[in-house]
Each structure stands twice: as C-alpha cells, then as structure tokens.
Structure 1
Amino acid sequence: MSELNPKTEHLEFLGRFGATAITVGVPLATYLLYFGCSEETGGCPPPLALDRLTLALEDVPGILASLWDTKSTLQYLAWYAFCVVAWRILPGDEVEGVLLRNGERKKYTLNAFSTYILALGLVGGYIHQNGVQSFTFLYDQWVGFTTAAFLMSVVQAAYVYAASFRQGKLLALGGNSGSWIYDFFIGRELNPSIGSFDIKSFNELRPGLILWVLIDISMLCEQAVRRGGLVNVTASMWLTVVFHFIYVTDAQWNEAAIFTTMDITTDGFGFMLATGDLLWVPFTYSLQARYLVFNQVELPWWGVAAVIAVEVAGFVIFRQANNQKNNFRSGKPSNLKFMTTKSGSKLITSGWWGRSRHPNYFGDLLMGLAWSLPTGFNTPITYFYPIYFAGLLWHRRIRDDEACEAKYGEDWETYKKLVPYKIIPYVY
C-alpha cells in the first residue's frame, strides 16, 4: 500500500500550526457566536460594560458547567441514531462513486432526501399534534445540543484516525504527513467506513444539514409563541427559514452531485469535516433565525422584494451552474463548448463556466447575503456567514486551482486565458 499511500509533503492550512488553531478555534467560535449574540447575554453583541465582563470571568466554572446538558445529549444521540436507521432501511437508487486509486468504486444508496422528508413529516406531525410551543426546545437547549454535536465530532474524528492505521486502508493524498495533529485534523483515511456505512458521505448531507432546518423551525416556533401564533411571525423570519429550507432541500434532492465534490473525492475524513458537518453547519448557519427570535425585524414590502430578488439570483446561478457541470460530466447532450487537455480531460469554456471558473461559488455567496439581509443592519454579527463563506470559498478556489494546475499543467494556463475570471464574472 506504500505506493498508493505516499507521504504527504505539502501541508495546507498553514500546516501543524493552522491545524491546531482551527481544531481549537472552530468549537470556540461556535460558542462565542452564541454568547456574543443571544438573548441570555443581553443582545447582539451584548453590552461591554466592565462589571458584566468581571462577573463573567468570575463565573467561568459556572459557564463551563452550563455547556453540558444530559437531556440534550441524549436527544442528539437519538437524532443521530434516527438518521442512521433511516439510511439503513429507506429505499433508494444505488450509484457508484468515482474510480479510486486502488481501482475500486464505492457504492452509495441515494436516500438522503427520503430521510429529510421523513424527518420533516414527523416534526410537522408533532407540532400539529402538540402546538408550536412543543418544538421550541432546540432554542431553549441550544448550548447543550451544541456540546453534544461537538463531542460527537471529536469521537468520530478520533475513531477514524485510529482506524486509519489498520492494514489495507486507502489514505487521502493530503492526509499522510506523519504529524498526528495535522492528519487528525485534515483526515487520514479517504473513505472511512463501518461495513457498508460510509461515514463521510453520510455526515455530508444527513445529521447536520437536516438538523439545520429543524433548528430553524424551532426558532420560528419560538417567535410564534412570543407573537401569539404562526400568523404573526415576521416576514423576516419566514424569509430566512424558507431560504435555508430551499438550500437544504436542493442539496438533499441532488444528493448524487456530492460524489464528485472535493470533500468526497479528495479530502480525507477527520476533525475538519466531522466538526464542519455536525457542529459548524447546523449551529452557525442558523444564527440569523436565532437572532430574529429576540430581535424581530419588520421589513417593508420593498425590503422583502429586494431580499427575494437577491436570493433568486443566487439560487438560479448556483443551480444552473451545478446542473451544467453535472450534466456535462455524466455525458448528457449539451451545447457547451469545451477544451480537451493532453490527458484527455475536458474543461468547460461556455455557459456559466465560461463566465468564471467557479460560478457556483458566486451563486452561493449571493444566497448567503440574502440569508443575512432579513436581520437588518443593527449588528455585523448576523453577517458572519457570508463573510466567513467568502473566505472559505476563496481558500477552496485556491485549492481547486492548485490541484488543476498540478493535473493539467500547461493546459491549465491555456484554460485560464479562455476563462480569466475566478468567481465573480467581470469583477474577480
């Protein structure tokens, strides 16, 4: 296996230092986004009075103790178990992934959308039977659920790292550096599995992404309780929740598309993806909905129209670009122009992919902005997602370009002349 698993020479994310910083920083940032923008701490951001800061520092043991909640932990474990059982028993088409370096192809069952619909149906029935006040517990137990998700990601990252040393494992090309902290963070094994249960692809769409929508529903229910019913929920809350719902629904419906993404084909599964999927996505991406519970922004009709316009523009670009790419890769007939590299690969040079090298990123950024606009402009904290996401996509664009340059050589330089813009057409 040494030929299949060469030693990693190039370390990303600033190497060991960056891996350590992100491993500590991601959970810390998740908690800070809560304590720095919540009703319990006094606002978003909370008042920075010296006496409040002193009291907080004096009560560090109490704050640490508040992070753990047994009830929330058990509920989170039940949720994760539900997702696993649904993956196991729900029907779905079976597809093959990309060809791996060892000549094998993994098989995947496409039932994420079925799991999603089942979860929404059960939650909808529960709320209908017991009232909106019965589903506000995700808002009330926020910190406890955050801690449970964090611990799950740590346990999974530790397990797959230890299991990656078993004989015969196919490692990620970027995860075999020999540094335990870096390999633990970036992911040592390419596709860690327990039998037919592929941990990486399962986490990509199910427990965290679906939970994001359920958290949003809980925030909407909490605002409904405070305002006297669903009919009184603000347009800003409805916009945020519906936009998130559309995004997650689109991802679940197009499950097959993830098997050609960098996360699946290139990256190993370690702390970075575990904590990203299970902790970061559901508990930071739902920040706007949580904010709108205690800061109930009222939008004028023209504000609603403007926000919808930004969301529609972003979604159309995102979905059309991804459809063009997926249809082209699957060999479906299209009128797209392309260039053929010396290796025989084809690079699209028309359509959305002729306007920029990453048009789907541009659509993603517009949608992220639309999710934050309903919160108004009283605090920059609710714009954390589009700011963070811009940085993430910028870094991912660099990773993509480096990989393509190594793969295509001079042909990549030719391609860049044909498609000069990186993300935003005619701008960047």
Structure 2
Amino acid sequence: MAQEREITTTITATTTVKLPAAAPKSYAELNPRLKPTEFFGPVGGFVLTFVTPIVAYGLFYGCNEVTGCSVPPTRNFLQWIGDWPSSAGALWEWKAAGVYLAWYMWTVLCWNILPGEWIEGTLLRDGTRKKYKMNGNGLWTLILTLGITAGVIAQPGGIAALAWLNDHFVPLVSASIAMCTFQAMFVYVYSFFSGELLAYQGNSGNFFYDFWMGRPLNPTFPGFPTFDIKTFNEVRPGIIGWVMLNIGFACAQYERLGRVTNSMWLVVLFQGWYSIDCLLVESSILQQMDITTDGFGFMLSFGDLTWVPFSYTVQARYLVFAPNDLSLVACGLIVALEVLGQYIFRVANNEKSEFRSGRNPKNLKFMETKRGTKLLTSGWWGLSRHPNYFGDWIMAWAWCLPTGFSTPIPYFYVIYFAILLAHRQMRDDEACKEKYGKDWETYCKKVPYKIIPYVY
C-alpha cells in the first residue's frame, strides 16, 4: 500500500489540522471504460472516418474550373474524378507528399527553435498539469514563414512557385489525409503501451469509436515528452497552412488575370487576420473542449491537418477560376460585417478570459454554483451562452459573400460551421449539466439563448 502523505490545511489564523492525502488512483480508476455515446456510437465513428475524407475531396471535384460548380451535381463522384486532368490533379503525387511532409516538419522545427512562453494547462484528473510552448511561438512561425514567402514572390518565377499549390491541390489533400491517418493510428496503438492518461470518451473498447474519438488525451512521441501532438496540430500546420494556401490561390489568380481582385483580397485578408488572431491568443485554446476533454484520434487529426486548411479555403480557390469584382458599396458592407463579427467574438472572449482570471472590470453579474465556481449572467454572456460562436458565424458570412451568388458551394462553410457550432454547444451544455447539476438549470433560465441572442 502506498505510504500516506500529509497535507496541512489552514482552518483559522491560529489552528491547523493535518489530513491524510487521498491514495493515488490506479490506472484503471483514472481511465474508466465508458459507453460509446458521441456521434451515434461505433457506427457513427466508423462512417465518419470514411465519409469526412470523401467530403474533403468532394468539395474540389464538385466545384472546380473543369467540372463547374453545379447544384445539384450533373455527374457522380467517379465521373468528376475522371473529368479532371490527371496532369493537374492526380489523387497522389510523391512530390506533393514530399512538399506536405516538408511543410509539417518546418512547423515542428519552428516550434523547437523559435522563442515562446511555456503555459500551464488545466488541472488533469491525475493531479498534474501539462506545459505547452505557446504564446509568441506560433506567431513567430507565421511571421518567419510569411517573410520567406514574400522573398520567394519577389523573385522571378516566385508567383508561379506559389501558384503550384493551386495546381496540385488534390494530391496535397491526399498527403494531409495520409499524415492524419498515420498520426491517429500511431497514437491509438501507442496508448496501449505508454500508460498515458486517456480521454473519457475515447476509452470504450470499440476500435472504430476510439479511433475516431481519440484514445489518448495528450499524446506525445516517444522520447519527446514536451511535444504535445494534439495541441501542436490544433494551431500550427493547419492554421498557418490555411494562410499559405490562400496566398497560393491569390498568386494563381494573378497569373491568370495579371491582378488580384478585390474579392480575393477580402477573403485572403479576413481569413489571414483570423489566423493571426488565433495565434495572438494561442493559449486560450487550453480552455477549449478539444484540449481539455477530447482525445486525439482521427476526428481531431483530420480536422486539424486536412479539414481546416483544405476546406476553409474553398472561397479563395473558387475565386481563382471564377473571379468576382465587387463594387465599393459591396466591399464596405462586407467589411462592416467582418468587423461586427470580430467585435462580438473578441469582446465576448475577453469578458470570459478576464472573469476567469479573477478580474471583472465591467462589473458583470454572475451566479455562484455549489461547486464554488461562478457563471457570467450579463454582458455578452448574458445575451447567450456562446456569444463567441455567434461572432464567429457572422465572420463566416463575410468570408463567403465575396464569392457572389452564382453557386451555393462556396457557402458550404457557413452551413457546415452552423452545424458544427450547434453540435459543440449541445456537447458543452451536456457536459455543464453533468458538472453543475441543478445550478445549470438555474443558469439556463437566466440565460435562455444558446448562441444567437433572442433567436436560438
């Protein structure tokens, strides 16, 4: 039996009492088996693992300069693939795979050599806290990458070099899928030998479900205990890669038109700023469900490495072959929408961040819970339970509107993002209901709207 340690707890200014520390929990107690309930269980995990890559490919084959962007589609998926010239979009190219691997390793190298602050994460259920190299490191990676990119563009043939990303989009997608599949499989297998902390929802015992949800909570590679794979992927290769792909699309449009349209500039700048803003407050992700709760499996590896950079760029990619010149009035209205979304998103997140740090400069109202924690009930957090989601969704419209109205496919992001945010809200509310009990019911009466004030 483990030797008991003693903890001294202060009762008053003059009286102390010594309490025995709780015995350390065993591996089985720390990692209980739970029923697979998320995403419709094992069947949902199996289906999503295969369907999500098909959707990533489908966004390209369903909307490109060869096949058009017809809705409903005029041909099936195999015909789409057959119609696309293999010289410009083969499913797999070793050169594209090499480029993608070099890109991923570049971001790892930058993580290792560039400065950054080590930030403590939330308290884990085994009583430990992990440290993550974050604040400043991701931003320096982006700045260095953009500096090198600017130097390449300034050279003869530099624009064509960046436009290569547009011409080899599909094999780059394939390379990213290969990478995320490898990582998801590696961490799944390694978690049976590493003795690491597992995610609650990824430890069901069913392979398809656990592979999708992610079995390990904070996986690392053997011999590199400070390199957290999940947190690194969340904000580095995909987020910065998104910026690089958009730049490649702008270069491809310049090659064809001899200029970059104002619609392309809006998309590149809006989405570029979103990425910069993410890296400026990089440590804020340590409070998000992806980091605190979800394991690292195919769901997150695919989302970080394939879905974000290759599906979020659909607007810029569309504008390469369907350029759209906007009027000054249209530009002004779209910019105003972007600013509104940014304002709500940032102010709401600042209110939450300040309150969690123990400050309340706006004197916002809150309610106490039996757990001893406090829940905001005024400010933006009094208007809805997830006002930051509302601001995020408004920005999504500003990203899509520059593409015009010839086809709804570039608006896929708005529709998908609404579903994603609603699903996250439901998962978060369910977790809070379990965490706060009756207090959560009281809170929901005080703040009845879930995302959009006075609507939903």
Q: Which range, TM-score by smaller chain? A: over 0.9
Which structure 1 segments of 5+ residues have no match?
none
What is the aligned partner in structure 2 of residue 266 from structure 1?
293
Match of 2:445 among 394, 417, 422: 417
Match of 1:199 among 229, 237, 251: 229
Q: Distance in 1 between matches of 2:261 and 2:311?
A: 21
What is the aligned partner in structure 1 of residue 419 from structure 2?
391
What is the SS of the residue equivalent to 2:375? Answer: strand
Instruction: Assess, with a 3 A threshold, how the Cα gap between structure 1 residues 237 and 78 changes in structure 2: closer, same or farther.
Output: same
Q: Distance in 1 between matches of 2:453 and 2:435?
A: 24
What is the SS of the residue equivalent to 1:165? Answer: helix
Match of 1:123 among 143, 146, 149: 149
Q: Does 1:289 align with 2:316?
A: yes
What is the aligned partner in structure 2 of residue 407 from structure 1?
435
What is the SS of the residue equivalent to 1:196? Answer: strand
Shift of 1:46: 8.3
What is the SS of the residue equivalent to 2:104? Answer: helix
Which structure 2 segments of 5+ residues have no match?
1-26
What is the aligned partner in structure 1 of residue 59 from structure 2?
33
Q: Does 1:348 align with 2:373?
A: no
What is the aligned partner in structure 2 of residue 376 from structure 1?
404
Shift of 1:129: 2.2
CA deviations over 1:263-294 (Å, ceiling 9, x no partner): 00000000000000000000000000000011
Of structures 1 and 2, the larger Rg is shown by 2
What is the aligned partner in structure 2 of residue 339 from structure 1?
367
Q: Distance in 2 between matches of 1:193 and 1:364?
A: 31
Q: How many residues align?
A: 422
Q: Distance in 1 between matches of 2:372 and 2:121?
A: 20
What is the SS of the residue equivalent to 1:350? Answer: coil
Instruction: Assess, with a 3 A threshold, how the Cα gap between structure 1 residues 167 and 220 changes in structure 2: closer, same or farther.
Output: closer
Q: Does 1:68 align with 2:89?
A: no
Asked if the contact 2:66–2:83 (Cα under 8 Å) also holds between the matched residues in 1, the reply is no
CA deviations over 1:350-370 (Å, ceiling 9, x no partner): 111011000000001100111
Match of 1:366 among 380, 383, 394: 394
Shift of 1:233: 1.4
Q: Distance in 1 between matches of 2:37 and 2:445?
A: 28
Match of 1:156 among 183, 192, 208: 183
Asked if the contact 2:62–2:80 (Cα under 8 Å) also holds between the matched residues in 1, the reply is no
Q: Does 1:234 align with 2:261?
A: yes
Shift of 1:380: 0.7
What is the SS of the residue equivalent to 1:174? Answer: helix
Q: Does 1:135 align with 2:159?
A: no
Letter in 1 for 2:383: R
What is the alpha-carbon root mean square deviation over aligned residues? 2.0
Asked if the contact 1:67–1:147 (Cα under 8 Å) also holds between the matched residues in 2, the reply is yes
Q: Distance in 1 between matches of 2:80 and 2:408?
A: 23
Instruction: Assess, with a 3 A threshold, how the Cα gap between structure 1 residues 56 and 354 changes in structure 2: closer, same or farther.
Output: closer
Shift of 1:48: 5.5
Q: Does 1:252 align with 2:282?
A: no
Shift of 1:133: 2.4
Identity %: 54
Letter in 2 for 1:415: Y
Letter in 2 for 1:197: F
What is the aligned partner in structure 2 of residue 104 from structure 1?
128
Match of 2:70 among 39, 45, 50: 45
Q: Does 1:176 align with 2:203?
A: yes
What is the aligned partner in structure 2 of residue 2 from structure 1?
28
Q: Does 1:305 align with 2:335?
A: no
CA deviations over 1:368-393 (Å, ceiling 9, x no partner): 11100000111110100010000011
Q: Distance in 2 between matches of 1:109 and 1:227?
A: 42
Instruction: Assess, with a 3 A threshold, how the Cα gap between structure 1 residues 124 and 15 changes in structure 2: closer, same or farther.
Output: same
What is the SS of the residue equivalent to 1:14? Answer: helix
What is the SS of the residue equivalent to 2:29? Answer: coil
Letter in 1 for 2:62: G
Instruction: Assess, with a 3 A threshold, how the Cα gap between structure 1 residues 359 and 53 changes in structure 2: closer, same or farther.
Output: closer
CA deviations over 1:296-341 (Å, ceiling 9, x no partner): 1111111111111111111110111111111211223422221110
Q: Distance in 1 between matches of 2:163 and 2:359?
A: 46
Structure 1 residues 69-88: aligned runs within 5 Å: 69-88=93-112
Match of 2:253 among 214, 223, 241: 223
CA deviations over 1:85-135 (Å, ceiling 9, x no partner): 100111111110000000100001121111111111111111112342231
Asked if the contact 1:187–1:269 (Cα under 8 Å) also holds between the matched residues in 2, the reply is yes
What is the SS of the residue equivalent to 1:108? Answer: strand
CA deviations over 1:204-259 (Å, ceiling 9, x no partner): 0000110000000011111111111xxx3111111111110111000011101011
Q: Distance in 2 between matches of 1:6 and 1:129?
A: 57
Determine which structure has greater relative contact order: mean sequence separation of CA pairs < 8 Å that are 6+ residues apart, divided by chain length. 1
Q: Distance in 1 between matches of 2:249 and 2:349?
A: 31
Asked if the contact 1:37–1:46 (Cα under 8 Å) also holds between the matched residues in 2, the reply is no
Which segments of structure 1 move beyond 3 Å, counting only runs of 4 or more? 46-50, 52-60
Asked if the contact 2:318–2:410 (Cα under 8 Å) also holds between the matched residues in 1, the reply is yes
What is the aligned partner in structure 2 of residue 357 from structure 1?
385
What is the SS of the residue equivalent to 2:119? Answer: strand
Instruction: Assess, with a 3 A threshold, how the Cα gap between structure 1 residues 190 and 133 changes in structure 2: closer, same or farther.
Output: same
